[in-house]
Amino acid sequence: MTVKTRFAPSPTGRLHVGNARTALVNWLYARAHGGVMQLRIDDTDRERSREDYVAGVLADLDWLGIPADESFRQTERADRHAAAFERLVACGRLYPCYETPEELSARRAAQLAAGRPPVYDRAALALSDADRAALEATGRRPHWRFRLDDRETSWEDLVRGRIDVHAGSLSDPVLIRADGAPTYTLATVVDDAETGVTHVIRGEDHITNTAAQIQLFHALGAAEPHFGHLAWLLDAGGAGLSKRVGSLAVAELREDGMEPLAVAAFLARLGTSDAIEPVAGLDELVASFDISRFGRAAARFDPADLVQLNARQIRRLDAGGVRARLVGLGVPDDLVAPFWDAVAGNIERIAEAGRWWQVVAGPVTPVIEADETSQAVLAAARDTLPPEPWDETTWSAWTRGIQGLTGVKGRGLFRPLRLALTAAEHGPELKKLLPMIGAARAAARLSGRDA
Binding mask 161-200 for ligand GLU (x = CB under 6 A): ---------------------------x------------
Chosen residue from 4, 5, 9, 172 binding ligand GLU by CB under 6 A? 9
Nearer to ligand GLU, 145 or 229 (CB): 229
Chosen residue from 14, 31, 202, 269 binding ligand GLU by CB under 6 A? 202
Nearer to ligand GLU, 242 or 358 (CB): 242
* 73 is an interface residue for ligand GLU by CB under 6 A: no
- Specify whether the backbone of 271 is left (phi greater than 0), alpha (psi in -120 to 50) or beta: left
Stretch that binds ligand GLU, among 7-15, 87-95, 126-134, 372-380 (CB under 6 A): 7-15
Nearer to ligand GLU, 13 or 412 (CB): 13
Three-state SS sequence of the chain: CCCEEEECCCCCCCCEHHHHHHHHHHHHHHHHCCCEEEEEECCCCCCCCCHHHHHHHHHHHHHHCCCCCEEEEHHHHHHHHHHHHHHHHHCCCEEEECCCHHHHHHHHHHHHHCCCCCCCCCHHHHCCHHHHHHHHHCCCCCEEEECCCCCEEEEEECCCEEEEEEHHHCCCCEEECCCCCECHHHHHHHHHHHCCCCEEEEEHHHHHHHHHHHHHHHHCCCCCCEEEEECCEEECCCCECCCCCHHHEHHHHHHCCCCHHHHHHHHHHCCECCCCCCCCCHHHHHHCCCHHHECCCCEEECHHHHHHHHHHHHHCCCHHHHHHHHHHCCCCHHHHHHHHHHHHHHCCCHHHHHHHHHHHHCCCCCCCCCCHHHHHHHHHHHHCCCCCCCCCCHHHHHHHHHHHHHCCCCHHHHHHHHHHHHCCCCCCCHHHHHHHHHHHHHHHHHCCCCC
Q: 431 among the known binding-site residues? A: no
Chosen residue from 8, 216, 276, 360 binding ligand GLU by CB under 6 A? 8
CB of 207 to ligand GLU, least distance (A): 11
CB of 335 to ligand GLU, least distance (A): 47
Query: To the nearest 10°, the Cα dihedral for 199, 201, 204, 208?
Result: -30
Nearer to ligand GLU, 210 or 313 (CB): 210
Stretch that binds ligand GLU, among 5-13, 253-261, 294-302, 371-379 (CB under 6 A): 5-13
CB of 40 to ligand GLU, least distance (A): 8
CB of 195 to ligand GLU, least distance (A): 13
Binding mask 204-223 for ligand GLU (x = CB under 6 A): --x-----------------
Stretch that binds ligand GLU, among 3-11, 129-137, 342-350, 440-448 (CB under 6 A): 3-11
Nearer to ligand GLU, 245 or 380 (CB): 245
Count residues contacting ligand GLU (CB under 6 A)?
7
Nearer to ligand GLU, 22 or 313 (CB): 22
Nearer to ligand GLU, 143 or 202 (CB): 202
Stretch that binds ligand GLU, among 4-12, 133-141, 378-386, 414-422 (CB under 6 A): 4-12
Nearer to ligand GLU, 206 or 415 (CB): 206
Chosen residue from 27, 30, 42, 340 binding ligand GLU by CB under 6 A? 42
Residues flagged as binding site: 243
Binding-site residues from annotation for ATP? 243
Q: Which residues bind ligand GLU (CB under 6 A)?
A: 8-10, 42, 188, 202, 206
